[in-house]
Amino acid sequence: MKTFTVALLAGFAALSLTATAQAEADGEAVYNQACMACHMTGAAGAPIRGDEAAWADRLEKGIDTLYAHAIEGFGAMPPKGGQMGLSDEDVQAAVDFMVEPVL
Protein backbone atom coordinates (compact mmCIF):
# COMPACT_ATOMS: atom_id res chain seq x y z
CA MET A 1 0.00 0.00 0.00
CA LYS A 2 2.91 2.35 0.78
CA THR A 3 4.36 1.87 -2.71
CA PHE A 4 0.99 2.61 -4.30
CA THR A 5 0.59 5.80 -2.26
CA VAL A 6 4.08 7.00 -3.14
CA ALA A 7 3.48 6.25 -6.83
CA LEU A 8 0.14 8.03 -6.72
CA LEU A 9 1.66 11.11 -5.08
CA ALA A 10 4.52 11.13 -7.59
CA GLY A 11 1.98 10.97 -10.42
CA PHE A 12 0.04 13.91 -9.02
CA ALA A 13 3.24 15.90 -8.61
CA ALA A 14 4.21 15.23 -12.22
CA LEU A 15 0.77 16.28 -13.43
CA SER A 16 0.93 19.46 -11.36
CA LEU A 17 4.31 20.39 -12.83
CA THR A 18 3.07 19.68 -16.35
CA ALA A 19 -0.06 21.79 -15.83
CA THR A 20 2.01 24.63 -14.41
CA ALA A 21 4.46 24.52 -17.29
CA GLN A 22 1.62 24.51 -19.81
CA ALA A 23 -0.11 27.40 -18.05
CA GLU A 24 2.87 29.73 -18.39
CA ALA A 25 2.49 32.08 -21.32
CA ASP A 26 5.09 31.89 -24.09
CA GLY A 27 5.75 35.49 -25.09
CA GLU A 28 7.71 34.61 -28.21
CA ALA A 29 5.00 32.27 -29.47
CA VAL A 30 2.29 34.88 -28.84
CA TYR A 31 4.43 37.52 -30.56
CA ASN A 32 4.87 35.24 -33.58
CA GLN A 33 1.15 34.49 -33.70
CA ALA A 34 -0.42 37.86 -32.97
CA CYS A 35 2.10 40.70 -32.90
CA MET A 36 4.82 40.10 -35.45
CA ALA A 37 2.96 41.37 -38.52
CA CYS A 38 2.94 44.93 -37.18
CA HIS A 39 5.79 44.90 -34.67
CA MET A 40 8.30 43.48 -37.16
CA THR A 41 7.42 45.95 -39.91
CA GLY A 42 6.42 49.04 -37.95
CA ALA A 43 2.97 49.05 -39.55
CA ALA A 44 0.73 51.88 -38.33
CA GLY A 45 3.56 53.15 -36.12
CA ALA A 46 3.99 49.93 -34.13
CA PRO A 47 7.34 49.93 -32.31
CA ILE A 48 9.67 47.29 -33.71
CA ARG A 49 11.14 44.74 -31.31
CA GLY A 50 14.67 45.79 -30.44
CA ASP A 51 14.27 49.41 -31.60
CA GLU A 52 15.36 51.24 -28.47
CA ALA A 53 14.31 54.68 -29.71
CA ALA A 54 10.82 53.47 -30.64
CA TRP A 55 10.27 51.98 -27.18
CA ALA A 56 11.88 54.74 -25.07
CA ASP A 57 8.81 56.98 -24.60
CA ARG A 58 6.57 53.98 -24.11
CA LEU A 59 8.82 52.49 -21.45
CA GLU A 60 8.92 55.82 -19.59
CA LYS A 61 5.18 55.39 -18.97
CA GLY A 62 5.88 52.09 -17.23
CA ILE A 63 5.30 48.44 -17.97
CA ASP A 64 1.80 48.48 -16.49
CA THR A 65 0.77 51.13 -19.02
CA LEU A 66 2.27 49.04 -21.83
CA TYR A 67 0.31 46.03 -20.62
CA ALA A 68 -2.92 48.05 -20.43
CA HIS A 69 -2.45 49.46 -23.93
CA ALA A 70 -1.72 46.02 -25.35
CA ILE A 71 -4.71 44.43 -23.62
CA GLU A 72 -7.22 47.26 -24.13
CA GLY A 73 -5.90 48.62 -27.42
CA PHE A 74 -4.26 51.95 -28.09
CA GLY A 75 -4.15 54.15 -31.17
CA ALA A 76 -4.21 51.96 -34.27
CA MET A 77 -3.65 48.77 -32.28
CA PRO A 78 -6.81 46.83 -31.48
CA PRO A 79 -7.26 45.16 -28.09
CA LYS A 80 -4.97 42.16 -27.76
CA GLY A 81 -3.67 42.82 -31.27
CA GLY A 82 -7.03 41.69 -32.61
CA GLN A 83 -6.62 38.24 -31.05
CA MET A 84 -9.38 38.31 -28.46
CA GLY A 85 -8.81 34.64 -27.61
CA LEU A 86 -5.53 35.53 -25.93
CA SER A 87 -5.48 35.78 -22.16
CA ASP A 88 -4.20 38.92 -20.48
CA GLU A 89 -1.21 36.87 -19.34
CA ASP A 90 -0.46 35.87 -22.96
CA VAL A 91 -0.50 39.51 -24.02
CA GLN A 92 1.71 40.53 -21.08
CA ALA A 93 4.19 37.80 -21.99
CA ALA A 94 4.29 39.08 -25.58
CA VAL A 95 4.93 42.63 -24.33
CA ASP A 96 7.73 41.32 -22.12
CA PHE A 97 9.24 39.52 -25.13
CA MET A 98 9.04 42.68 -27.27
CA VAL A 99 10.70 45.00 -24.75
CA GLU A 100 13.29 42.54 -23.44
CA PRO A 101 16.01 43.52 -25.95
CA VAL A 102 15.80 47.21 -25.02
CA LEU A 103 15.77 46.90 -21.24
pTM of full prediction above 0.75: yes
The predicted structure's pLDDT at residue 3 = 53
Blockwise average pLDDT, block size 10, the chain, 103 residues: 45 42 83 96 96 97 98 96 97 98 96
CB 66 within 8 Å of CB 100: no
Is residue 12 situated within a structural domain? no
Split into its structural domains, the chain has a count of 1
What pLDDT does 97 receive?
98
pLDDT recorded at residue 16: 41
CATH code for position 72: 1.10.760.10
Give a yes or no: residue 3 inside a domain: no
Residue from 87, 84, 100 nearest 39 by CA: 100
Q: Residues with Cβ < 8 Å from 97, sequence gap 6 or more? A: 27, 28, 30, 31, 49
Q: Write down the pLDDT at residue 19.
A: 44
Q: Which domain holds residue 85?
A: 25-102
- Cβ 35 vs Cβ 77: under 8 Å: no
* Per-residue pLDDT, 13: 44
- Please state, in angstroms and rounded to a whole number, the distance separating the CA atoms of residues 39 and 35: 6
